[in-house]
Amino acid sequence: MDIKKIDKEVNKAVRLIRRGYNREYIIEKINGIYFDKEKIFEIAKCRIKARKKFGELAEKLFFDEEGLRYATPPIVADYRARRIKGDVVADICCGVGIQLIYLSKYAEKAIGVEIDCFRAKLAMLNAMIMNTKIEVIKGDALSKKIFDKIDADCIFCDPSRKEKEEKRKFETLFPNPLKVYNLYSSKTNRIAFELPPQISREEIKIEGEKEYTSLNFSLNRLALYTGELAECDTSAVSLPSGERITDLDGKIKLKKTDKAFEYVYEVDRTIIKAGLLENLAGKVGFDGYIIQIDKRRGLLTSSSEYKSAFLRKYVVVAECNFDYHKLNRILKKLGAEKATLRFSVEPEKYWEIRKKIEEGLEGEKHFYIFKVGNKVLVAERII
């Protein structure tokens, strides 16, 4: 396998895509090196898309569409690898190998298993390009043939899932985590799974720690740690800061109010999903109230300042009834340039509403608009 020749053809396709040439023209101009031309074209498209998730590193990695969609971002992959490190770690659904590469940084030996032959080849290419020593086995991790080959003290499994699904279930993940657990628990109790973060806790049919991961203040991942890897029942970690909240942290029971105090705090949705709001309040010693809690957003208020990676802090500068013209006048007086909506609206109406609110603004400041009942809060973010 000449990785330099493969990389050269992928980069040639990348350049042609960026110049705006159509697919047929590009297919005609590139050579099928190791993969056929269609696959080279797919890898090139994914390399361009991957920049958002992988930054400059994307320029040398190999992905297919599904592999990129579910590939773990580097910050999360590194955190996960440090959390589940062992002497010999096996990633038995390794995909294109990103998590496997990071697992190898903290293990004596890292083994990957991938049932899809194309993806297994991409994992091997990524290992080579990253100068990482890993073993990739093509096959079904649930088969006796593969099971007998795996001699590891820690198992990691990120099962594939449907791109869209009304309700996430264990039964629709492949391979089924319960089958993986029942099989591999005969080798070790140190087993970790990557699960869809939107799956309900009632659907998780294996005992262990459920760790919700936030990346840049957004729910990104859900891991399930079993056996010796589990440290509590439920936890949340914020990356890149590494701040962690667990169900073992002391709680403060929060009451609800309709009144906004000097500061409002937007709560990371990861905390809401994990059900750890009162534990977060206890850990930071929060003295205040809940203004609003729903599936998408949590909003607290207090007269005191608090600092947490799970909280975005704003100072309230104005309050009024929800009226476009009145809100627009207030923003003009405050010297606003733009106003970001921080409440739920239908996507197709977002810019229609925002344009009405921002009409004629000529200032320099950026404000955020929260809606509480029939009232709106105008707030300025404090970094």
Q: Is the pLDDT of residue 282 over 90?
A: yes
> Of 171, 187, 206, which one is at a domain's C-terminal end?
206
- In 3D space, the residue among 271, 261, 270, 260 whose CA is nearest the CA of residue 372 turns out to be 260
Considering the domain architecture, whether residues 35 and 141 belong to the same structural domain is answered as: no
Residue 188 token pair: 């070790």
Residue 237 token pair: 């970690």
- Strands (E) across 185-342 are located at 191-195, 209-215, 219-225, 234-239, 243-246, 255-256, 263-267, 289-293, 298-302, 311-321, 336-341
Q: Is residue 290 assigned to a domain?
A: yes
Count the domains in the chain: 3
Distance of CA 307 to the CA centre of its chain: 22
Query: Residue 325 in 3-state DSSP?
Result: helix
In the prediction, which pLDDT does 117 show? 95
Considering the domain architecture, whether residues 373 and 331 belong to the same structural domain is answered as: yes
Considering the domain architecture, whether residues 8 and 94 belong to the same structural domain is answered as: no
Residues forming beta bridges with residue 193, ordered by sequence position: 157, 224
Q: Is residue 188 assigned to a domain?
A: yes
Considering the domain architecture, whether residues 108 and 178 belong to the same structural domain is answered as: yes
Q: Angle formed by the axes of helices 324-333 and 347-358, to 10°? A: 50
Considering the domain architecture, whether residues 73 and 138 belong to the same structural domain is answered as: yes
Q: Is residue 5 assigned to a domain?
A: yes
- In 3D space, the residue among 204, 211, 314 whose CA is nearest the CA of residue 261 turns out to be 314
pTM assigned to the model: 0.94
Spell out the long-range contacts of 220-224 with Cβ–Cβ below 8 A and sequence spacing 24 or more.
220/73, 220/76, 220/270, 221/72, 221/76, 221/80, 221/194, 221/197, 222/194, 222/195, 222/196, 222/197, 223/80, 223/83, 223/192, 223/193, 223/194, 223/195, 224/177, 224/192, 224/193, 224/195
Q: Is the pLDDT of residue 295 over 80?
A: no
Label residue 40 by pLDDT band (50, 70, 90): very high
In the prediction, which pLDDT does 363 show? 96
Residues forming beta bridges with residue 209, ordered by sequence position: 225
In the prediction, which pLDDT does 200 show? 93
Residue 223 token pair: 């891991």
> Of 191, 206, 221, which one is at a domain's C-terminal end?
206
Considering the domain architecture, whether residues 133 and 167 belong to the same structural domain is answered as: yes
Q: Supply the CATH number for residue 324's domain.
A: 3.30.2130
- In 3D space, the residue among 274, 320, 281 whose CA is nearest the CA of residue 301 turns out to be 281
Considering the domain architecture, whether residues 373 and 320 belong to the same structural domain is answered as: yes
- In 3D space, the residue among 335, 334, 332, 327 whose CA is nearest the CA of residue 377 turns out to be 327
Average pLDDT of the chain to the nearest whole number:
95
- In 3D space, the residue among 185, 190, 238 whose CA is nearest the CA of residue 211 turns out to be 238
- For residues 253, 258, 260, 263, the Cα torsion angle rounded to the nearest 10 degrees is 30
Contacts of 12 (CB under 8 A, 6+ apart): 29, 30
Spell out the long-range contacts of 85-88 with Cβ–Cβ below 8 A and sequence spacing 24 or more.
85/154, 86/152, 86/153, 86/154, 86/190, 87/153, 87/154, 88/151, 88/152, 88/153, 88/154
Label residue 297 by pLDDT band (50, 70, 90): confident
Residue 250 token pair: 């002391």
Position of tokens 């942290």? 249
Considering the domain architecture, whether residues 41 and 90 belong to the same structural domain is answered as: no
Q: How far apart are CA 342 and CA 364, in angstroms?
A: 19
In the prediction, which pLDDT does 127 show? 95
Considering the domain architecture, whether residues 294 and 265 belong to the same structural domain is answered as: yes
**Domain around 30:** 1-48
Considering the domain architecture, whether residues 190 and 85 belong to the same structural domain is answered as: yes
Q: Is residue 215 assigned to a domain?
A: no
By DSSP bridging, strand 365-372 and strand 375-382 are: antiparallel
In the prediction, which pLDDT does 166 show? 81
Q: Which amino acid is at 332?
A: K
- For residues 184, 188, 189, 195, the Cα torsion angle rounded to the nearest 10 degrees is -40
- In 3D space, the residue among 101, 97, 211 whose CA is nearest the CA of residue 158 turns out to be 97
Q: What is the mean pLDDT of residues 284-310?
A: 94
In the prediction, which pLDDT does 170 show? 85
Model pLDDT for residues 174-233, shown as the tens digit of each residue: 999 999 999 999 999 999 999 999 999 999 999 999 999 999 999 999 999 999 999 999
Q: Supply the CATH number for residue 184's domain.
A: 3.40.50.150
Which percentage of the chain shows pLDDT scores above 90?
91
Model pLDDT for residues 81-140, shown as the tens digit of each residue: 999 988 999 999 999 999 999 999 999 999 999 999 999 999 999 999 999 989 999 999
Considering the domain architecture, whether residues 187 and 283 belong to the same structural domain is answered as: no
Considering the domain architecture, whether residues 23 and 118 belong to the same structural domain is answered as: no
- In 3D space, the residue among 131, 82, 141 whose CA is nearest the CA of residue 107 turns out to be 82
Which percentage of the chain shows pLDDT scores above 70?
100
Position of tokens 């959390």? 83
Per-residue DSSP letter, 174: B
Q: Is residue 182 assigned to a domain?
A: yes
